[in-house]
Amino acid sequence: MSAKTLNYILLLIICSLVIILVKTNHENQSPSTKGNTINRSDSFLINFDLKDYEHLKTMVTRFKEGKGDNLMIIQATLEGVPSIHDVMSNGREIRWTVDNSRDPYSSDKGKTEYICRAIDIKETNDHYNFELSKCNNYEEKEKLRLVSFLKERL
């Protein structure tokens, strides 16, 4: 066989292997085939719509079942500056960090971290409020409302 034929066969083998690897990787990461894969974009809540509400509600349910979860919530202030919330839960406690460092109008520059052992959803006439309680450095029954969803947007 000539060198040209061998190069062609080698190229076909390499292309076949690449196709097999890509297909295998796609099947292993597809939510429809595994059911447990979390899409990275689902970890970011920015629209405060029904999807974001349901995702945060799922995090509350998972926490109450002793399961962990991680979210990043990017909430615009009245001035349009992002307020970033990092929410990390191990199923026993929630570490909720609010980063106002990008807000030039905030009186509270920097990051504030809340470490809490309970989270609930409180419904009012117009909103669903996500409230933390049993937080370090706060009274046991004191509730900290950190995120609110306007019902009419859901």
pTM above 0.85, yes or no: no
Residues 131 and 115 grouped into a single domain = yes
Q: What is the pLDDT of residue 79?
A: 75
Residues 56 and 77 grouped into a single domain = yes
Counted domains in the chain = 2
Residues 12 and 77 grouped into a single domain = no
Is residue 28 very low, low, confident or very high in pLDDT (cuts 50, 70, 90)? very low
Residues 80 and 11 grouped into a single domain = no
* 9-18 pLDDT, tens digit each: 766 677 566 6
> Region 135-144: what's the mean pLDDT?
94
Q: What is the pLDDT of residue 50?
A: 94
CB 149 within 8 A of CB 48: yes
Residues 80 and 122 grouped into a single domain = yes
Residues 118 and 146 grouped into a single domain = yes
Q: Which two tokens stand for residue 79?
A: 């001035």
Residues 95 and 138 grouped into a single domain = yes
Q: What is the pLDDT of residue 41?
A: 54
